[in-house]
Each structure stands twice: as structure tokens, then as C-alpha cells.
Structure 1
Amino acid sequence: MSKFKAITSLFIFVFIIIFVTYKITAFSSNHSTTNHSTSNRYIQLQLLGVNDFHGQLNKYQMFSGTMAGGAEYLAAYLKSINKKTQIHYSFMLAIW
């Protein structure tokens, strides 16, 4: 990876994190139904990451007696987590 691509990818990643954090903070402060003190200004943030996904779309294996692997298993897991969250932003960053 060239130095320019690495710096560009890092810049894009930082921008996305700042943008998402700003949007979540703005939404939570505008739609608050309770009166919070100034010491309780934190919001709950959950970051999910998937690493080394390349080449593993169609590979399956048994893990503790359960079939694991494949894109559909990952998608189902992420959908189940999203159902537990009222507000969520999703994005994917690929570093080339």
C-alpha cells in the first residue's frame, strides 16, 4: 500500500468516525426525554468490527458443534445486534 493511500484511508476513517459521533450526539441531545445533569453527558456507543473478511465468504467450519462461517451467518449476527439498538449508523471502510 502506498503512503498516499494509507494516509487517505486514515483521513477518511477519522472523518467518518467524527461525523457519526456528531450525528449520534446531536440526535441524542435533541430527542432526550429526561433532564440530564451536565456530569452525565455521555452516550452509549457500540462499535462492531470485522477483520480479515477477504476470501472467507463461502468457507464454513464446525465451531463447538455449530456450523460457522460464510457471509449469511455474519449478516444474520449483525442484524440480530441491530435489532437490539434503537438508533444505529452503519458504514464500511475498505483499505486498499
Structure 2
Amino acid sequence: MNVLYSWCLDHGRLHAYRAEEDAEVCTARRIYLDAVSREAVMNLKETCLPGVTFFSDLEPIVQCILIDDPEQRVMISAGGGLVPIDTPDGERGR
């Protein structure tokens, strides 16, 4: 079973979803994390977003990306880059 992880910038915590459809339960701004385990996700989050808990903790450029297009979903890839997720058909993009 695939698990989709995201850091919720409103709740200030990690969300884990069993399916893409479940990810719509929380509609707050969030950043998806591309990792296969909770431990790997938290390591990635702390490496790429150190000290970030809430939206206001993000660098201004990242805030602008998320404000510019509220429907745009972004993910931190395993390599540490911030990339858009294209999901017109519900599939997680890379």
C-alpha cells in the first residue's frame, strides 16, 4: 500500500494518507514529501525545511509560490528540490 505524506502548514504537523483520494480530507496548504517511510519523511522535512512548522515560517519565495496558485501542489523530492505536482488525472507527478 502506498502512503502519501505531506507537511500541513496550517496544522503544523505531518499528515499521512493511504490513497490520493484521502489526501483531500485536509484542504489546508501543505507540502508533499517524497519518501517511503515516516522516518525518511521527517528527515527530508528537517533537511529541506529546517525550522518550518507553519506557513509563516517558510522563505518568502516559497510562500509566493503557494500564494500565487493556491490550487498548485508542491512536493519536496528525495533530492531536496521543490517541484510542482501535476495532478489533472489524480496521479502524483514528478
> Scaled by the length of structure 1, what TM-score is found?
0.21
Structure with higher strand content? 2
Q: Which has the higher contact order (CA 8 A, sep 6+)?
A: 1
Mark the structure with the bigger radius of gyration.
1
Structure with higher helix content? 1
> Scaled by the length of structure 2, what TM-score is found?
0.21
